[in-house]
Amino acid sequence: MKYFLFLSLCFCCFFSSAQQYKFDKEYRAIEPKVIEWRRDFHKHPELSNREFRTASKVAEHLRSLGLTVQTEVAKTGVIGILEGTKPGKVIALRADMDALPIIERNDLPFKSTTKSEFLGQEVGVMHACGHDTHTAILMGVAEILSKNRDKIKGTVKFIFQPAEEGPPPGEEGGALLMIKEGALKNPDVDAIFGLHINSQTPVGVIRYKPGGTMAAAQSFEIKVQGKQSHGSQPWAGVDPILISAKIIDGLQTIISRESELTNEAAVITVGKISSGVRFNIIPESAEMIGTIRTLDYDMQAHINRRMKEMVPAIAKAYGGDATITINNATEITYNDHDLVALMLPSMERVAGKENVQIQKAVTGAEDFSYFQKEIPGFYFFLGGMTPGNEQSFPHHTPDFIIDDSGMLLGVKALTEMALDFLAL
């Protein structure tokens, strides 16, 4: 941290020279390639820890650029190392590669028709969060920087990460496993940058927030035990579906009546409930899974404690039993204040000062946060919505669409932020 505080004192002098890399020709040449890569990945999406085709294409591209390439990091992850012509620091740039179990619903010519298996069910697979664009953007950055080694003072490490959406049950994966397997070592990384395209931010705009910017995510599983009976005789059993409804209602009061939402936002969502096989049978059991999102660790501790108290108590009140298990999924995505201050001039130079905007924290989550627990990191949002488009669909939905023209700004931002950081 002292290192960054020192740099904060001198960065104004550095940027007062109006650093310009004059990559206009390179940017024009790379944009159609980035679009082509993105559309290919979009048409052939792969679920978490199964990104075999994606990883192969990434590794092939990095090798063609002369980078040192590591594969099968955290199962399907790829790392490329680019050394400049002068010694210096090490900056990491990260992109995630996995898609989601969603059936795509649009008329794009590169629409996904891929099917796979998730939690024992056949599902459609779709890049419904923009990870295809992240991968293509970072491939473009790698190509531009590989052709400009003479401008690199130090080393750039390109991290293509699998399983950002979470590994399948029973498997390790994502940023945690990449860190465990040494992604930030050999050479040791000084700082890391990442971006996320956003379908509801106009093309040409970059948004960011110093400090806590995305929520910590936890998953939970609730198992409710009742007593089976005929649907016409509910008094002869204990209804786990009724108990589940009461539990869901009770959990929401933790947010609406116990959480100080003027401090930070918090969310409890039940995403799936499973019970029963037939209309006239009160089943024996029910299961629920869901997510908790918090931007404050004290609030997280309170919510977790109250959920563990409330779930079995509600079930007992209605004659049943229930257990709850809570698992951590991500930490709070925390942007290092000094690093943000250092890089803000870079972003304003490539996007225009008026297009670099501070935003409020969001309750989405990112396992990029695990990298930030190890080293200073900066994570920002890139516009992917066609300006003036009133039908922009949110992430993780079947209608999600990104405007390809938004990706070039991501290439420019990561390229010049990396060079600026290494030049300090």
Catalytic residue numbers, as ranges: 98, 164
Please enumerate in sequence order all residues whose Cβ is within 8 A of that of 410, keeping only pairs 6 or more positions apart, or say none.
Answer: 133, 134, 137, 195, 197, 382
Tokens found for residue 195:
């971006």
Q: Which of 55, 53, 49 is nearest to 172 (CA)?
A: 49
Residue 366 amino acid letter: E
- Residue 37 near residue 15 (C-beta atoms within 8 A): no
Distance CA 220, CA 224 (A): 13
Q: Which of 145, 187, 177, 154 is nearest to 61 (CA)?
A: 145
Q: Which helix (H) or strand (E) holds 9?
A: helix 2-15
How far is the CA of 87 from the CAs of 69, 159, 187, 414, in angstroms? Answer: 20, 20, 12, 20
Q: Which of 253, 337, 264, 335 is nearest to 298 (CA)?
A: 264
Q: Which of 51, 119, 105, 117 is nearest to 397 (CA)?
A: 105
Distance CA 145, CA 28 (A): 14
DSSP-derived 3-state class of residue 271: strand
Spacing of C-alpha 167 from chain mean position: 13
The 3-state secondary structure of 230-259 reads: ECCCHHHCECHHHHHHHHHHHHHHHHHHHC
- Residue 193 near residue 366 (C-beta atoms within 8 A): no
Alpha-carbon dihedral 88, 89, 95, 96, rounded to 10 degrees: 130
Please enumerate in sequence order all residues whose Cβ is within 8 A of that of 273, keeping only pairs 6 or more positions apart, or say none.
Answer: 244, 248, 286, 287, 288
